Amino acid sequence: MNTVVTSKEDILKTSRNLIRQQGWPAVNIRSVAAACGVSVGSIYNYFDSKAALVCATVESVWYEIFHRPEDSAAFQDTQSCIVWMYERIEYGCRQYPGFFTLHALGFMQEDKSDGKRRMQQVWQHILDELCAVLEQDAGIRRDAFTETFTVEGFADVLFSLMLSALLRQDYDPAAVLELVRRTLY
């Protein structure tokens, strides 16, 4: 049974459900309005175009996948954080099959600057969290980072490896964990 949408978040939740059930092409103004049980105009009250709806949906999927858990045990050390991130990548691939590849390729191939900007904001948030974990990890050697080998640079390398694993659908963090152990501990 459809419920009446009363907020932007309700629309985004419905859009995420449509992706899970019918795939990425299901997200458009008409289908989201129908799934929400509201008029097309109601969706336009929150999103001025399909592109705006799609961009906001992409952003909300990223935030759902990488939403920081209330139990912050995953952020106590770098290795736990990496394991958590790989688990979240696997969750995202299960919940939203093809999402990562399809939306990333779509934003890179076409002029969708708002979508790129939103995706980069989410990625920056993930990188910032990874840097914070690296900086507070008491197990990392004090001399591990230098002026040229920075926390930010290493976090970027780790995140790039995770994105590569995501595209390969390789959810085993063992190689990245070994890199971290050999490099930092």
Provide the residue ranges of all domains of the chain, joining segments of one domain with +.
8-48, 59-184
User: How far is Cα 130 from Cα 123, in angstroms, rounded to an integer?
Assistant: 11
CATH 3.40.190.10 at 8-48, yes or no:
no
Q: Report which DSSP code applies to 24.
A: G
Count of CB atoms situated within 10 Å of the CB of 107:
21
pLDDT of residue 1: 43
Q: How many residues does the chain have?
A: 185
- Positive or negative CA dihedral for 22, 24, 26, 29? positive
Distance of alpha carbon 46 from the chain centroid: 22
DSSP alpha helix (H) spans, 66-98: 78-95
User: How far is Cα 143 from Cα 47, in angstroms, rounded to an integer?
Assistant: 49
Instruction: Determine whether 161 is exposed, middle or buried from the number of CB atoms within 10 Å of its CB (0-12, 13-18, 19+).
Output: middle
pLDDT of residue 104: 55
Would you call 68 helix, strand, or coil by DSSP? coil
pLDDT of residue 184: 94
pLDDT of residue 183: 94
**Sequence-ordered list of residues with C-beta below 8 angstroms from that of 58, at least 6 positions apart, any chain:** 103, 107, 115, 118, 119
pLDDT along the chain (185 residues), means of 10: 71 94 89 94 93 88 85 88 92 84 55 67 88 95 95 95 84 93 94
- Provide the whole-model pTM: 0.82
